[in-house]
């Protein structure tokens, strides 16, 4: 089904952010056609008066050219908090590319987060930023499970794109997120990406709102052997699975000589190899503090 697409005029593409990782967020679109089943950004439906199902609509933001971009010098920007800046429609509308062009030459600290290799189209623009980090979300190496969860490009294409950026000396992050208990094989993913990234973030699956019953139902139908465990974690709020996983990854990190930390400030860390693993398991409060700001 083709997504419902419309252009909307906005005053500014830059929004002050409450997120702990940036001063400003930039979301060139409302909605996201990657349509991940676990997308926490689906709360945007409420803010943007969309009744359609998440993933089936996309508002393309049109803004006046950024006035005096130099005033943002020294500030940190995140693209994007509630959409993917490289959803497939970016190929046509080029709103992310437009932002990158408008902010060229300004000394900002820019983080781009995507599930698409379309980002390679903008490599020349990206390379011009002194402080830039590109994150790829990868929570499985199983393309079938990935296809069940999202409409974005394959995992193998994401890894190839990460490798290319790494070769270009751009700091890259692998977001192993969200970790599905007993389905996401964290160690295997780290093995697959550790030579192409500088940071590895671990984020557990949080279930709330509309998508909680959908995911629990998916597990019941497709992974019945894990149903009990998911009930324990997401209905009875038992966190022992995460405590055990934390210990396991800590051991893995020690064996593989990888640094393992719990401090999100390491997101600012510059190009380094081998990657540092950042555990970000218990972060409900942080997401709440971002509420409504996009
Ligand atoms: S790519 Fe991100 S914003 Fe887009 S649907 Fe998936 S989780 Fe949501």
Task: Please check whether residue 126 lies inside any domain of the structure.
Answer: yes
Looking from the CA of residue 32, the nearest atom of ligand 1 is 4
Which pLDDT score is estimated for 21?
Answer: 81
Number of domains within the chain: 1
What CATH number does the domain containing 177 carry? Answer: 3.20.20
Task: Please check whether residue 217 lies inside any domain of the structure.
Answer: yes
Task: Please check whether residue 236 lies inside any domain of the structure.
Answer: yes
Ligand 1 pocket test, pick from 39, 85, 140 with the greatest ligand atom count within 8 Å of Cβ, gives: 39
Strand order from edge to edge, sheet including 57-63: 4-10, 57-63, 29-30
Task: Please check whether residue 294 lies inside any domain of the structure.
Answer: no
Residue 132 contacts residue 107 (beta carbons within 8 Å): no
The predicted model scores a pTM of 0.92
Chunked mean pLDDT (size 10), the chain, 294 residues: 93 92 94 94 77 92 96 97 96 98 97 98 97 97 98 98 97 97 98 96 92 96 98 95 95 95 61 81 47 34
Distance 179 CA to ligand 1 centre (A): 15
Tell me which residue range forms the domain holding 121: 4-289
158 lines ligand 1 (CB under 6 A): no
Of 77, 68, 86, 75, which is closest to residue 29 (Cα–Cα)?
86
Q: Which residues pair with 26 in a beta bridge?
A: 14
Q: For 127-140, write each residue's pLDDT tens digit.
A: 999 999 999 999 99
H-helix or E-strand spanning residue 158: helix 155-167
Distance 175 CA to ligand 1 centre (A): 13
> From CA 176, how far away is CA 185, in angstroms rounded?
9
Which pLDDT score is estimated for 289?
Answer: 35
Task: Please check whether residue 133 lies inside any domain of the structure.
Answer: yes
Q: For 185-237, write each residue's pLDDT tens digit.
A: 999 999 999 999 999 999 999 998 889 999 999 999 999 999 999 999 999 99
Task: Give me 37's structure tokens.
Answer: 């089943």
Ligand 1 pocket test, pick from 36, 86, 149 with the greatest ligand atom count within 8 Å of Cβ, gives: 36
> From CA 252, how far away is CA 186, in angstroms rounded?
10
Task: Please check whether residue 82 lies inside any domain of the structure.
Answer: yes
């Amino acid at each position: 089904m083709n997504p419902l697409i419309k252009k909307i005029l906005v005053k500014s593409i830059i929004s002050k952010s409450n997120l702990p990782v940036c001063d400003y967020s930039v979301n060139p679109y409302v909605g996201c056609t990657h349509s991940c089943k676990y997308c926490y950004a689906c709360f945007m439906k409420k803010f943007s008066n969309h009744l359609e199902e998440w993933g089936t609509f996309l508002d393309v933001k049109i803004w006046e050219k950024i006035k005096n971009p130099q005033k943002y010098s020294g500030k940190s920007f995140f693209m994007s908090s509630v959409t993917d800046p490289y959803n497939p429609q970016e190929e046509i509308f080029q709103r992310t590319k437009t932002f990158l062009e408008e902010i060229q030459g300004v000394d900002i600290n820019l983080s781009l987060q995507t599930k698409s290799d379309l980002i390679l189209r903008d490599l020349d623009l990206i390379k011009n930023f002194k402080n830039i980090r590109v994150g790829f979300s990868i929570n499985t190496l199983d393309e079938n499970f990935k296809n069940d969860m999202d409409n974005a490009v394959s995992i193998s294409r994401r890894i190839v794109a990460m490798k290319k950026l790494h070769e270009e000396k751009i700091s890259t992050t692998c977001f192993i997120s969200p970790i599905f208990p007993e389905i996401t094989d964290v160690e295997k993913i780290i093995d697959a990406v550790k030579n192409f990234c500088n940071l590895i973030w671990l984020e557990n699956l949080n279930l709330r709102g509309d998508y909680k019953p959908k995911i629990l139902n998916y597990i019941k139908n497709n992974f019945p052997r894990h149903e009990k465990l998911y009930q324990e974690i997401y209905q009875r709020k038992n966190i022992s699975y995460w405590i055990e996983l934390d210990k396991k990854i800590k051991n893995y990190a020690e064996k593989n000589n990888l640094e393992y930390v719990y401090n999100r400030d390491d997101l600012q860390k510059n190009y380094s190899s081998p990657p540092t693993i950042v555990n970000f398991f218990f972060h409900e409060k942080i997401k709440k503090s971002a509420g409504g700001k996009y």
